[in-house]
Amino acid sequence: MALHRRQLLNYGLGLAGSVALGGPALAAAGGGRSIAFTNLHTGESLNATYWEAGAYVPDALAALNHLLRDHRTGEVHTIAPGLFDLIASLRGKLESAATVQVISGYRSPITNAALHAHSEGVASHSLHMLGQATDLRIAGVDLGHLRDAAWSLQGGGVGFYPQSQFVHVDVGRVRRWSGA
């Protein structure tokens, strides 16, 4: 896949070991919206401009879909672009340019069923299976502060997992919960 340099900055996959939200975060992004992820299970990192000149950038979305794939099966699924908007707004709300650390992005139905069988904290019809959710943390940001900032955006569901050290965000209906 040919990648335009402005679309994908630091396309480091494997090398380094539609709800549109408004508000100050996306307004500050001007003509482009960028996001930086590290997948903690694969070690892959990506810094991508996924929105530019008034539209989503297909190559950047494809690269983000790959990074957020089911790391257990390798299956890639389309991630809702609104989820990237939500996460970009969250970083803006936190005034953080730090890389988002991904614990879980897309989950295949097989992976989700296996996780659900071993944990009551995994929903049988998880939005992870639709590419509408991610479990994350941001280096240097207190987990409780991250949860509160996500909740303040009212962009979807927010789950708080302090023992597991992550916050779940999704673009489903607005709700919140706590887990382990």
Q: Which is nearest to 179 in space by CA: 159, 152, 165?
A: 159
b/e code 141-150 from CB counts within 10 Å (16+ = b): bebeebbebb
Average pLDDT over residues 115-121: 77
Q: What is the pLDDT of residue 47?
A: 97
Please report how the helices 81-93 and 143-153 are oriented relative to each other, as an axis angle in degrees rounded to 10. 120
Average pLDDT over residues 150-166: 97
Question: Range with the lowest mean pLDDT among 22-31, 65-74, 144-153?
Answer: 22-31
Average pLDDT over residues 85-103: 96
- Round to whole Å and give the CA distance between 144 and 126: 23
Backbone angles phi, psi at 110, to 5 degrees: -65, -45
CATH of 8-175, one of 2.60.40, 1.10.540, 1.10.8, 3.30.1380: 3.30.1380
Q: Is 111 exposed, middle or buried (0-12, 13-18, 19+ CB in 10 A)?
A: buried
Tell me: pLDDT of 6 over 60. Answer: no
- Round to whole Å and give the CA distance between 96 and 103: 19
Mean pLDDT of the chain: 85
Q: What is the pLDDT of residue 114?
A: 87
Average pLDDT over residues 140-155: 98
- The radius of gyration of the chain's CA atoms, rounded to the nearest angstrom, is 15
Q: Where are the alpha helices (DSSP H) in the chain?
A: 24-28, 58-67, 81-93, 109-118, 143-153
Please report how the helices 81-93 and 58-67 are oriented relative to each other, as an axis angle in degrees rounded to 10. 80
Number of Cβ within 10 Å of residue 4's Cβ equals 11
